[in-house]
Amino acid sequence: MSIYHDRQRALQDAFDTRRLADVIESNNLHVTFNPLDEAFIASKDFFFLATADASGKPSCSFKAGPAGFVRIVDERTLAFPCYDGNGMYLSMGNVLANPKIGMLFVDFEKPNRLRISGEASIAESDPLLAHYPEAQFVVRVAVTEIFLNCPRYIPKFKRVADSPFVPVAGKETPFPNWKQIDFVRETLPARDRQIALQMPAIDIMDYIRSIEES
Q: What percent of the chain has pLDDT over 90?
A: 97
The model's pTM: 0.94
Q: How far apart are CA 211 and CA 214, in angstroms?
A: 5
Q: What's the pLDDT band for 123 if we cut at 50, 70, 90?
A: confident
Beta bridge partners of 51: 59
Q: In what order do the strands lie in the sheet with 46-52?
A: 58-64, 46-52, 100-107, 112-123, 137-149, 77-82, 71-74
pLDDT in tens, 155-206: 999 999 999 999 999 999 999 999 999 999 999 999 999 999 999 999 999 9
Q: What's the pLDDT band for 214 if we cut at 50, 70, 90?
A: confident
Closest Cα to residue 181, out of 201, 208, 211?
Answer: 201
Q: How far apart are CA 44 and CA 24, in angstroms?
A: 24
Domains of the chain, start order = 27-149 (2.30.110.10), 177-213 (no CATH)
For residue 87, how many other CB atoms are within 10 A of its CB? 11
Please report the pLDDT score of residue 124 as a whole number.
82
For residue 51, how many other CB atoms are within 10 A of its CB? 23
Please report the pLDDT score of residue 14 as a whole number.
98
User: Average pLDDT of 46-73?
Assistant: 98
